[in-house]
Amino acid sequence: MWPTRLRVVQDAAVFVILTLYTSHLAGSISISSSQRSFTRSVQDSVFFSVDVTCSGVPNVQWTFMSSAVSRLIVTWQPLNITEDYSNRVQAFANGSMVLSDLRLQDTGYYVVTITDAAGSSKDAGFVLKVNGCVPSPEVLYEDLHYLLITALALAAMAVLSMLSMWLLHKAYKKMVVWRRRRRMPANDATELQPFEDNPDNNRPETVN
């Protein structure tokens, strides 16, 4: 019975020691930054500046997060930039990062994760808002959709207008013909009178 209790005490002691050691390692990582929130315009650049302190050479990872998507931007060491950011990201040895040629879709949260040689890690978050008049593909699609609907509506109105003009023209011509026909019987009565024979003309001439 005593050996069993001793083993339980030893396991608890090991767990406490590991917990304290892990907390000490996590506490040895420090991430400081002078600015955590940024507002930029489309096609500008933003410099996420950090000052990292940890044991050994840190592994740095930057991640983008928004309400719709979460994706990896870059990691180092070694340096590995994802394809979506291959031409827009510049990484620095101290953990800082520059993101250039900003787009409206870049609005969101940026998280830097520092992992030291012992495997402990720590995060720090940044907020970026991108303003600008350059429309996103979704906005362009909505504008094109609106223009298409407007063009179709105008075309339909033009067709209806032409059809109305044609119908009015046909109705006018029919009215003119109807009025002419209405006048014709009166003219015929005066111009085409029946021929009546003169009874005197039917008598034979007398020979004296």
- Give the per-residue pLDDT at 49: 95
Q: Which residues contact 44 (CB under 8 A, 6 or more apart)?
A: 100, 102, 130
Q: Cite the DSSP H helix spans in the chain.
A: 2-27, 137-191
Domain 32-134 architecture: Sandwich (2.60)
- Give the per-residue pLDDT at 20: 43
What residues does each domain of the chain span? 32-134, 138-189
- Give the per-residue pLDDT at 140: 62
Pairing type for strands 121-131 and 37-41 reads parallel
> Per-residue pLDDT for the chain (208 aa), expressed as one digit of tens each?
555 555 544 555 544 444 444 444 445 889 999 999 999 999 999 999 999 988 888 899 999 999 889 999 999 888 999 999 989 999 998 999 999 999 999 999 999 999 988 888 999 999 999 998 655 565 566 677 788 888 989 999 999 888 888 888 888 888 888 888 777 765 555 555 555 555 555 555 555 5
- Give the per-residue pLDDT at 173: 84
- Give the per-residue pLDDT at 206: 52
- Give the per-residue pLDDT at 138: 59
Please list, residue by residue across 144-176, b when 16 or more beta carbons sit within 10 angstroms of its beta carbon and e when fewer do.
eeeeeeeeeeeeeeeeeeeeeeeeeeeeeeeee
- Give the per-residue pLDDT at 115: 92
